[in-house]
Amino acid sequence: MIMPESLFSEICLDEVGFLGSQCSVEECRSADDTGDSSCMTLDRVSITVPYSNASFGLRLLLSADNLELAPDFIFDDPTFLSSCDAADLEKLVPALRDWRRLSDLPALLRQLLTAYKSHVVSRLTPGGALLDGYSQLLAELGPDALEPMVAAGEVRPALYVLVRLPLDLSTLWERPPPGRRPCALLLLKATENGGVKARLRLSPALAALATDCRLPPPASRPLTEYVQLVTELTQRQLQEGSDAGRARRLLVAALVTAAPDRLLDLSANCSRMSLRWDGAVAELLLAAYPRRPATLCLASTAGRWRREVPLTLSNTAPVPEVVDMILDKVEELLKGVDRDSDSDESLL
């Protein structure tokens, strides 16, 4: 039976694996001989950690009478640690020997993941651009930045390597929310002809900044050079996205300051704001600003007319001047609408 209360609710698994925040923890409890549902005890925990192109899954078998005893394991991959005795296991996973409480779980999982990487690498066969490149990446980036994986259940098992790109996020104006560990991951897959395919995976906070990050193909480049190229490209895209976000927020703040009584609505990321005028609403669309022109939508509150025009706003002009330009443009459009209305009435 799955219980809603979680003994693991306060255990931070964000630090386990590249995508630790997406770890899945499922607790199972069993009733005693009486069958009384109020006397159910925790005896199994299923944990799934995102790993490379797949996942690392295991079940912890706990002592219901004493949770301070180190757990036993059942792994989704039956070949992992299948012939390992107790002494070798403690060398590979010293957290087992040092286990005192459930809060030791993240350290235990990290050590198991490290051991699993070694297990995967031991199954790799020589040859192929990705395997050769993996050795070079390992020497340059270290094992903590790589997650190799051999796809199971395939006639010719494919090799995958997930690379955590060494980005510098300290220069970004828009920082990810506290408590979240953002990451940029490059998934490399060996093809049947000995080549390599690549795909970039960004955590949500980074994907919101790098909205147009397209990868060049690896072609015949050494993988170390390709990873460096993708790192530089992603860093540049993130910086541009962060700078654009800053420009939007500064512009919106200045507009609110200049016309505080006109503010009607504002999106959380400052990509859209609405201002009220007598009989009209001006909606400013800034999602692509300042890389592309903003859009001004002016509509009658009675639904009689609507105007939509692009606004090419200067990237170098002081923000107050840009604000004046926007407000003047709204007034100009409103006067044009009034003139059109007067002309229509004179024809009647």
pLDDT digits (tens, 9 = 90+) for 79-133: 888 888 888 888 888 888 888 877 788 888 899 999 998 888 887 766 666 777 8
d(CA 21, CA 252): 33
Give the separation between CA 295 and CA 311, rounded to whole angstroms.
Answer: 6
The residues that bridge with 280 in the sheet, in sequence order, are 277, 300
Q: Tell me which range, 86-95, 178-187, 228-237, 293-302, is most confidently predicted by mean pLDDT.
A: 228-237
List strands edge to edge, sheet with 184-190.
146-150, 159-164, 184-190, 196-202
The answer to whether the beta carbons of residues 135 and 121 sit under 8 Å apart is no
pLDDT tens, position by position, 228-265: 999 999 999 999 888 888 988 999 999 999 988 889 89
Residue 265: Cβ within 10 Å count? 11
Q: Given the DSSP bridges, would you call strands 159-164 and 41-51 parallel, antiparallel or unpaired?
A: unpaired
- Predicted local confidence at residue 234, as pLDDT: 94
pLDDT at residue 347 tops 70:
no
Closest Cα partner for 66 from 91, 88, 36, 43? Answer: 43
Give CA–CA dist 79/92, Å, rounded: 16
Report the predicted TM-score, pTM, of the whole model to 2 decimal places.
Answer: 0.76
Which is more confident, 32 or 309?
A: 309
> What DSSP line would sit under 233-262, residue for residue?
HHHHHHHHHHHHHHHHHHHHHHHHHH-GGG
- What's the confidence (pLDDT) of residue 344? 45
User: Of 5-14, 145-154, 300-309, which gets the smallest average pLDDT?
Assistant: 5-14
- Contact (CB, 8 A) for 163 and 137: yes
